[in-house]
């Protein structure tokens, strides 16, 4: 009987230790997963903040470039108009010179 009680005591202590170990492992794993998820969420939030800053900067730069584009387009349109006027004058001058040359030859 003493031996049986001894074996039962060891089995109880061993069983309790195994159960305790398994429960500790499960709770530690759950805690670790929660901490890992929390860290991942924090990292994602930081990444989102950085991307938001980049996007805001790009929006501002886009608006500036859009304004500059419109100004340059107006300037090009004015230059085209001026070029057209100068081209017409040059053609008229050429006709006038040709007319003068033809009249002088006769």
Q: Token pair of 6, please? A: 């001894």
pLDDT of residue 46: 95
Alpha-carbon gap, residue 87 to 81, rounded angstroms: 10
Mean pLDDT of 54-59: 96
pTM metric for this prediction: 0.50
Q: Is the pLDDT of residue 7 over 60?
A: no
Alpha-carbon gap, residue 89 to 40, rounded angstroms: 72
pLDDT of residue 89: 94
pLDDT of residue 92: 92
């Amino acid at each position: 009987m003493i031996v049986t009680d001894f074996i039962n005591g060891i089995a109880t202590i061993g069983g309790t230790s195994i159960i305790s170990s398994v429960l500790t492992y499960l709770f530690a794993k759950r805690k670790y997963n929660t901490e890992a998820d929390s860290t991942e969420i924090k990292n994602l939030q930081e990444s989102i903040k950085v991307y938001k800053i980049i996007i805001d900067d790009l929006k501002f730069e886009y608006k500036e470039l859009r304004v500059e584009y419109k100004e340059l387009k107006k300037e090009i349109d004015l230059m085209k108009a001026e070029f057209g006027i100068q081209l017409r004058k040059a053609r008229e001058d050429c006709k006038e010179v040709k007319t003068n040359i033809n009249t002088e030859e006769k």
